[in-house]
Amino acid sequence: RLSNALYDAVAPTLPLGLAAQVSAGPVDDDGWSILCSNAAVAAKLRQLVPHLEQRLRDAGQAVTAIRVKVQPR
């Protein structure tokens, strides 16, 4: 699945404590969604989005945008 492949590409760049709170979301025409467990994790992920997008480009993945969404577990 594309979503899992994208997550596998960025997971090594996530801080260890943050990675446990993040999961792969859907991919659609507007981009890829990263799901996180709470607003604090979402805030940190939003700061990392430019770095994550660069990581995906370096891995050869074509993603137009990364969206961060809160989805409590």
* Model confidence pLDDT, tens digit, residues 6-44: 999 999 999 988 999 999 999 999 999 999 999 999 999
Model's pTM, two decimal places?
A: 0.87
Residue 52 is predicted with a pLDDT of 95
Residue 73 has pLDDT above 80, yes or no: no
Distance between CA atoms of residues 52 and 10, nearest Å:
6
pLDDT of 63 over the 90 cut: no
Confidence of residue 72 (pLDDT cuts 50, 70, 90): confident
